[in-house]
Amino acid sequence: MKSPRKVYPAAALARVRDRLRREGRTVVFTNGCFDLIHAGHIRLFRAARKLGDVLIVALNSDASVRRLKGPARPIYPLRERQEILAAVEDVGYVTSFSEDTPRRIIASLLPDVLVKGGDWKPDQVVGREEVEAAGGRVVIVDYLEGRSTSSIIRQSAGASQKEKARASVTKASGGAGPFRR
């Protein structure tokens, strides 16, 4: 059985949104780079999906991620991030945007509920004004402490440096390392 299409360009998704509105379905929206999916993201998607009938996730384009996060990001390119998110059960639709903020796509889709993680304050949420002016609401869901892509990358880089140091010590000691007899 073929799975339903989930990934749409923003303009085509606006037409899907119009259909969902006519059907009376509650649309929830969140956005982000999502370039290394972790448990915090999955919990965000699950909580967001419970707030309505359909969850739309908008991804920053690769160029947008680089501008926001630096030249070493994204970890995975847009097409792979779209494929990964499309496989997440709670995600109904996936789209992307090339700007640094999602204001334009939010204004186009006007979701009923705009969701961000607990590391955001309601007055900082881009698109809040547009959503609230259209009768929607902004919801901040709990943040999974210690789980951010940036912290995972830093931890991984630190672990990599420790491994290199261990390898250097092992090589210098003739290969036996700390277990030399």
Indicate whether 160 pLDDT > 50.
no
Residue 116 parent element (H or E):
strand 113-117
Query: What pTM, to 2 d.p., does this model score?
Result: 0.81
Indicate whether 1 pLDDT > 80.
no
Indicate whether 33 pLDDT > 80.
yes
- The residue among 152 and 30 whose pLDDT is bigger is 30
Taking residues 112-125, what's their average pLDDT? 93
Q: Using alpha carbons, select from 117, 158, 155 the residue that is nearest to residue 33.
A: 117
Q: What is the mean pLDDT of the chain?
A: 86
Indicate whether 175 pLDDT > 50.
yes
Task: Write out pLDDT tens, residues 71-90.
Answer: 999 999 999 999 999 999 99
Query: Which of these ranges, 17-21, 119-123, 148-152, has the smallest mean pLDDT?
Result: 148-152
Indicate whether 165 pLDDT > 80.
no
Indicate whether 158 pLDDT > 70.
no
Burial label for 145, CB within 10 Å (0-12, 13-18, 19+), is exposed
pLDDT bucket at 179, cuts 50 / 70 / 90: very low
Degrees, nearest 5: CA angle 137-138-142:
140
